[in-house]
Amino acid sequence: MTTQFSDLSLRPDIMQALEKLKYTEPTPIQAQMIPIMMTGVDVIGQAQTGTGKTAAFSLPILHNLISGQRKPQALILSPTRELAMQVAKAMEGYGAYTGVRVLSIYGGSSYGRQISALKRGVDVVVGTPGRLLDLLNKKSLDLSQVRTLVLDEADEMLSMGFIDDIETLLDATATKRQVALFSATMPVRIRQLAKKYLHEPQSVAIKKKQLTLAAVEQRYYVVNQRDKLAALTRLFETEDISRALIFVRTRAGTGELANELASRGFSAEMLNGDLSQDARERVMSRFRNDHIKVLVATDVAARGLDIDDISHVFNYDLPDDPEVFVHRIGRTGRAGKEGIAITLMTPKETRMLNRIEGYTRQKMTKAELPSKADIMNARKKQIVERMEVWLRRGRFKNELELVNQLVEAGHDPLEIAAASMRIVRESENQRPVETIGEVREWNSRRDPRGSRNSRFSGGPRDKGRGSSKRTRSSFSSRKSHEQGMARMVLDKGRSDGVSPSDVVGTIAYHANIPGKSLGAIHIQDQQTFVDVPEQFVDQVLAKNGNYRLRKNKEIMTVEKA
């Protein structure tokens, strides 16, 4: 039988707020966590954002609150300012009828307001470790009366370098306080922290199966790295997107992709760690208020993004960790809505696909990209829909006058309408559907470094579209013609911007061999042949993973031809 909120014996003033929020029944983490936390013991909760973990710790804190005290009774540590604000807001909502005083404390805002609020008296403090520590050192924050301390997204705080601050804050609280540690993952350092500060903690883990929300439709498309943008553009033309979040691997990638999309007519902006706090908030508010439809973000930057109505999550680059994948797609399909998660995958990343599927215990559906004909149909449909909107609105007095003039001049009304459509559709010519190259299956045995290098654009077997017959026949021999030389092949070529100095520079430098010892270099469209003295072959192979293109920093892989 499923637990109901009424089974949890929460205070009536909390129940009243839950009714107002229309929470009908507790989520799994709430059903398990709330009774444990209400008893005051320490607890570890392994749960992601989107599982309802905020209420899981907020409700017991509110339940155990003693009114009329001046000093904080509960402290919640958050990795980011956004999360702190979000948790404080949620806590105020849950405690709307309890009279709770919640204060959020984070860097980048004035000390004055925070200090005077502390002086007036607060019950719950939610904040980021750095600023909390500042206030503790200034003696403005007194943690001696804290009875419950929550570490929210502990793994994130760890990766942001807050671990020492957290320990100092923990040390500033009474030893008998309750600690609730929440973390999506349990790296060693977090386990050590738990061991040191938590007393016989109980554990609550939300089973992996529940991690991926059932309301998310998961699809993937296999494309060559170089065709990802074209593939994304096609999907943007055919999907019914209300709000999309696109994940890319690097900060630089966010800007590049956002610009590319914007130049294709899709209102997109980037969200990355380089943005100032103000700029970040402005971008998020434009997204929230529907001024932009698309955010291109890194994983770290997307943390704390509290927007429920995301129709699509795109994995433009795959993450290295299946857990991160789950985090990403958990951002859609929330608040009872259906969501779509779309992953663009290069042929050699299928190994990662298996790992993700194993982790989530859910299969992703392999899908075919929309064809040119699909795009044309989608465009036609869109025009008809836009026309219908205007026909319903009926506000085209000036245009009607123009049509009347044409009718009076003897033109057929149907033909006038068709000619108008024609004019409307002229802009389509400026948006040609980009060609997408054929995908060749990747043979993993040929990749000495496994599937880690996901930016790899097709394998050496991928002769590519552009490589001419002439160059292939003159240099396709996999053996060097020079004695004592071995022919090797790099998986990048002219279309990636490879120059001879790239080849000599990076190989000679990283493999620590004389540049002039390298023999013939032949750059083809998708790959490059280079002759290497036989005695250096192993040395060159050993440094795979280090060879990079100067221009775009992409990694090149070299192997025997």
Query: DSSP 3-state helix, strand, coil percentages of the chain (rounded to 5)?
Result: 45, 15, 40
Binding residues for ligand AMP restricted to 334-373, rule: CB under 6 A:
335
Residues 524/475, Cβ–Cβ less than 8 Å: yes
Nearer CB in complex with ligand AMP: 93/519: 93
DSSP code at position 359: H
Sequence letter at residue 152: D
Which strands sit side by side in the sheet containing 558-560, from one edge to the other?
A: 521-523, 528-533, 485-490, 558-560
Euclidean distance between CA atoms 208 and 361, whole angstroms: 8
Shortest distance (Å) from residue 26 CB to ligand AMP: 5
Sequence letter at residue 319: P
Q: Does 49 bind ligand AMP (CB under 6 A)?
A: yes
Nearest Cα residue to 2 out of 33, 37, 31, 38: 31
Sequence letter at residue 86: Q
Shortest distance (Å) from residue 350 CB to ligand AMP: 31
Spell out the SS3 assignment of 230-282. Answer: HHHHHHHHHCCCCCEEEECCCHHHHHHHHHHHHHCCCCEEEECCCCCHHHHHH
Shortest distance (Å) from residue 1 CB to ligand AMP: 17
Size of the site for ligand AMP (CB under 6 A): 13
Nearer CB in complex with ligand AMP: 54/212: 54
Q: Which stretch binds ligand AMP (CB under 6 A): 48-56, 377-385, 440-448, 530-538?
A: 48-56
Q: Among 8, 34, 44, 54, which residue sits at the site for ligand AMP (rule: CB under 6 A)?
A: 54
Q: Does 505 bind ligand AMP (CB under 6 A)?
A: no
Shortest distance (Å) from residue 53 CB to ligand AMP: 5
Q: Which stretch binds ligand AMP (CB under 6 A): 44-52, 113-121, 187-195, 469-477?
A: 44-52
Q: Which stretch binds ligand AMP (CB under 6 A): 45-53, 127-135, 248-256, 540-548?
A: 45-53
Shortest distance (Å) from residue 143 CB to ligand AMP: 24
Q: Does 52 bind ligand AMP (CB under 6 A)?
A: yes
Name, in order, each residue with C-beta under 8 angstroms of 302's C-beta and a sequence gap of 6 or more. Answer: 245, 247, 271, 295, 328, 331
Euclidean distance between CA atoms 293 and 125, whole angstroms: 34
Shortest distance (Å) from residue 301 CB to ligand AMP: 17
Euclidean distance between CA atoms 517 and 43, whole angstroms: 62
Nearer CB in complex with ligand AMP: 44/172: 44
Nearer CB in complex with ligand AMP: 40/52: 52
Sequence letter at residue 63: H
Euclidean distance between CA atoms 102 and 121, whole angstroms: 10
Shortest distance (Å) from residue 522 CB to ligand AMP: 55
Nearer CB in complex with ligand AMP: 327/348: 327
Q: Does 95 bind ligand AMP (CB under 6 A)?
A: no
Euclidean distance between CA atoms 489 and 478, whole angstroms: 9
- Could you identify the residue written with the tokens 């691997």? 249
Euclidean distance between CA atoms 444 and 451, whole angstroms: 8
Nearer CB in complex with ligand AMP: 26/464: 26
Shortest distance (Å) from residue 327 CB to ligand AMP: 11
Shortest distance (Å) from residue 214 CB to ligand AMP: 14
Q: Does 55 bind ligand AMP (CB under 6 A)?
A: yes
Shortest distance (Å) from residue 87 CB to ligand AMP: 8
Q: Among 14, 32, 46, 51, which residue sits at the site for ligand AMP (rule: CB under 6 A)?
A: 51
Nearer CB in complex with ligand AMP: 27/272: 27
Sequence letter at residue 14: I
Nearer CB in complex with ligand AMP: 34/229: 34
Nearer CB in complex with ligand AMP: 335/419: 335
Q: Among 14, 31, 42, 50, which residue sits at the site for ligand AMP (rule: CB under 6 A)?
A: 50
Q: Does 53 bind ligand AMP (CB under 6 A)?
A: yes
Number of H helices and E strands in the chain, helices first, is: 22, 18
Euclidean distance between CA atoms 326 and 324, whole angstroms: 5
Euclidean distance between CA atoms 549 and 118, whole angstroms: 54
Write out the H or E segment, with its range, that includes residue 90: helix 81-94
Q: Does 332 bind ligand AMP (CB under 6 A)?
A: no
Nearer CB in complex with ligand AMP: 95/464: 95
Binding residues for ligand AMP restricted to 306-325, rule: CB under 6 A:
308
Residues 462/513, Cβ–Cβ less than 8 Å: no
Q: Which stretch binds ligand AMP (CB under 6 A): 43-51, 119-127, 386-394, 527-535?
A: 43-51
Size of the chain, expressed as the number of residues it contains: 561
Residues 118/140, Cβ–Cβ less than 8 Å: yes
Nearer CB in complex with ligand AMP: 55/353: 55
Q: Which residues pair with 488 in a beta bridge?
A: 530, 560
For 183, the 3-state DSSP assignment is: coil
Shortest distance (Å) from residue 62 CB to ligand AMP: 14
Q: Please give the full DSSP string across 27-81, using - where no structure is assigned.
A: -HHHHHHHHHHHTT--EEEE--TTSSHHHHHHHHHHHT--TT--S-SEEEE-SSH
Q: Which stretch binds ligand AMP (CB under 6 A): 21-29, 231-239, 357-365, 376-384?
A: 21-29
The two structure tokens encoding residue 258: 């956002």
Nearer CB in complex with ligand AMP: 304/533: 304
For 13, the 3-state DSSP assignment is: helix
Q: Does 183 bind ligand AMP (CB under 6 A)?
A: no
Q: Among 27, 104, 148, 557, which residue sits at the site for ligand AMP (rule: CB under 6 A)?
A: 27
Q: Does 26 bind ligand AMP (CB under 6 A)?
A: yes
Nearer CB in complex with ligand AMP: 30/233: 30
Nearer CB in complex with ligand AMP: 53/293: 53
Q: Output the CA torsion sign for 120, 175, 77, 52.
A: negative
Q: Which residues bind ligand AMP (CB under 6 A)?
A: 23, 26-27, 30, 49-55, 308, 335
